């Protein structure tokens, strides 16, 4: 990764233009050619230095539900519960964390009501309580990650 790659990451986390030739416009701001920008983005995606390039959608504003949920799952039961939780298509991400609250997953549902329903279904299947922790407020800046 060289200075141009770093500059792409640092300056292109938002504001990508919506126009016929957006890469050409963005490339000009970076002082490089359109083809070079496209090539560099492709390479950084391939190397997983970027996890994505494009629009970031806001799940709740698309009419769906979104919540962070946690469960206290003992080690002995972990694999069973993990399989049962992951089997729900509403579970978008699931992380093991080193805490008594050991399983943390994000529910992304097609309607807001489905969040509560899915929590109840997961409780029934697994036998463990689901702590539903939807955000009450978001303090999001997020455009400042620098390399």
Partner 1 sequence: MSVSSLKSDMPAESHNLDELDRKIIRATQGGLPLVSEPYQQVAEEVGTTAQEVMVRMQRMLDSGAIRRIGAVPNHYTLGFRGNGMTVWDVPEEKVQQYGRMIGELDFVSHAYHRPRFLPEWRYNLFAMVHGSDREAVKEKVAAIAELLGEDNRAHEVLFSTRILKKTGLRIAGG
Using DSSP, state whether 70 is helix, strand or coil. strand
**CB nearer to partner 1: pick between 20 and 31:** 20
Strand order in the sheet with 131-133: 103-109, 65-71, 131-133
Residue in 130, 101, 133 with CA at minimum distance from that of residue 118? 130
Alpha-carbon distance of 130 to 147, in angstroms, equals 37
Phi/psi-derived region of residue 31, left when phi > 0, alpha when psi is between -120 and 50, beta in every other case: left
- Cβ proximity to partner 1: between 41 and 122 the closer is 41
Report in angstroms how near the CB of residue 117 gets to partner 1 at its nearest.
15
User: Which is nearer to partner 1, 117 or 134 (by Cβ)?
Assistant: 134
Nearer to partner 1, 89 or 124 (CB): 89
Write down the least CB distance from residue 146 to partner 1, Å: 7
Distance CA 86, CA 10 (A): 34
Least separation in angstroms between residue 60's CB and partner 1 is 8
Report, in Å, the least distance between residue 82 CB and partner 1. Answer: 5
Count other Cβ atoms within 10 Å, centred on residue 108.
20
């Amino acid at each position: 990764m060289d200075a141009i790659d770093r500059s792409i990451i640092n300056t292109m986390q938002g504001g990508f233009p919506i126009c016929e030739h957006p890469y050409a416009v963005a490339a000009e701001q970076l002082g490089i050619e359109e083809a070079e920008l496209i090539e560099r983005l492709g390479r950084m995606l391939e190397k997983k230095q970027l996890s994505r390039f494009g629009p970031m959608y806001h799940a709740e504003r698309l009419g769906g539900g979104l919540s962070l949920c946690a469960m206290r799952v003992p080690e002995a039961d972990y694999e069973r519960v993990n399989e049962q939780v992951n089997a729900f298509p509403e579970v978008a991400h699931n992380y093991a964390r080193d805490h008594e609250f050991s399983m943390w997953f994000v529910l992304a549902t097609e309607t807001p009501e489905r969040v509560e329903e899915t929590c109840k279904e997961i409780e029934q299947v697994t036998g463990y309580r689901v702590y539903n922790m939807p955000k009450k407020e978001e303090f999001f800046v997020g455009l400042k990650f620098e390399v």
